[in-house]
Structure 1
Amino acid sequence: MAPACSQPHVHYNVGGPMLNKVFQAACDGDLPIFKALVVMLDKGRGRPKEAIEALRVEDAGELEGFTALHAAAKGGGLDVCKYLVEELLVDVDVVDKKGRTPLFFAIHSKNVGTAKYLLNHGANQDKVSHDGLSLLHSAALSDNCPMVELLLAKGAYVDPVADCGTPLHFAASEGHYGTMKILLDYNADYNKMVNGETPLIAATCADSKSMECIMLLVKDEPMVKREIRTGGLVSLGMDSLRKKDYRLAAGFFSQALDLDPGDAILLSNRSLCWLQMGAGDKALRDANKCRKIRPDWPISCYRQGAALMLLKDYEGASGRFLDGLKLDPVNAEIEDALREAMKSLKTSRSSKAKQLFGCCREISGRL
């Protein structure tokens, strides 16, 4: 049986013929047909509310316990919603077998008008379904910005906690920038720790991680300073570096450097990121700053040499590696780099000499 009710054309097949007709009319918002069906259900007993409330989906998987008000909310049948809530006085927060209210389905189907109506007529904006998710969680997960804004404007609690975190955790883990911005504008707790993760950590660990979203979470200077003091940004940068996500690592190190531009280690780490991304000029710029701050640190010389190698300045690279080896004579890595630089310099000079010799022969031949 098909449990779908999606815009714009919906067809129900969730039970007997009468149930299907009632739910179809509710979903379509066809009030005359819906009222006529309610009269048929009531059979002249004068209890239409009881008749319609007794009509529920049974054994239909996802829609078990579904009611006519759920169908109207899901399909955007606003006129039917009004009739059920205002005339028949049906419970606006009636739940299905999974604890989902009609408002849940209005939000899920992006029926803003229906959602507003339900909220204006007493629907609980903080209702939690049996899986522990609030309405705001659902809206945030689907990046439904209008619904997120609507729920918060109606007083929904911005930081409800589910097993996987708050709505901000959900939005951050999916890279939903617009939803994150709204949640933060309503003072969502960007330091909220759930299962050992803050929204910032959720954003950096996401498959669809967005640097824009990450920067949104670290834009506040007092927060960034706290992150640095606890090793947060640096730790995240190093973790990204180990995962070879050099672009993300460079972003973290850049944020840290904005607050502490004199940190030679951060400059060295970012220089390495630029180097791995093939940005020789940026790598050299950071390496030069690093050496200026710590002229006696062999690593700063090594970073300079590596950047110059990328830029094919083998003579300059040899000089920097030699400086580093003088500071740390037993450093095998720098020694190997110096040997490679000198080999490249010799090859380069030999190639240039051959090119020059060839040019000279060509010119002599013309003469």
Structure 2
Amino acid sequence: RVLLRHGADPNKFASRVFTPLVSSLLGGSVECMKLLIEAGANVHAGGFSGATPLLLACSRRGNIGFVKCLLKAGADPNVPDELGRLPIEIAAVQGGKKLVQLLFPVTRCPPNMVAWSVAGIMSHVNSAAYKERVRKGSCKRKAELKLEGNKAYEIKDYDTAILMYNMALKFDDPNDIDASIYANKSLCWLRLGVGDEALSDAQACIRLWPDWGKGYYRQGEAFRFLQDYASAYAAFVKASELDPQNPKIANALR
């Protein structure tokens, strides 16, 4: 309230990802959300990922107060997320029957819905067809975001590259995680001179793909940056054992 009285912008993005309205949701304050809306916060602003505040509110159970607040302020319940899912579908996935009941009267029936009812929606999101559609959409979106991260790296925009890689990881299949994204993030952190983060992502890569030489190579680079030369050497040796033909790894051991 004090900040708004002194001219704070209720629509300013934080790190290009969250608006104050989304932050109020993540912070669990309906009162803060109401104050921001009264001050002119845009209830449709989706942030960098495109997820609107309503979509985010529906992604967690127990957020019925936030959903009511957003709907009252004019949030559109028919705007889908990056995978084409409506707020009502996301609410149903989370098991929020009360949210589904709240959204049902204001949501238009999507073309892929067989039985347009509260029970039908709850059944729909548990169907094999729906899950396969989401899986394919997630794979496609992850690949797109990873490519955007690679492009940002090529022009040395490492902050944006990390943001893209983090967003790509949100769409990773828990049973088939792309550890190379962590390796890419590690390199970006290294270019930014943040050794601890570079090491953390390299180690995440190794945990997921313990037989991939590049993970150990990234770990070695991070250790070397942190001036832990003994650990760096051990990591490079392991990388060489797994990928003996890699010239970068061979050069690191010289």
Computing the radius of gyration from Cα coordinates, the structure with the larger value is 1
The alignment's TM-score, normalised by the length of structure 1, stands at 0.34
Of structures 1 and 2, the one with the larger relative CO (CA 8 A, separation 6+) is 2
The alignment's TM-score, normalised by the length of structure 2, stands at 0.48
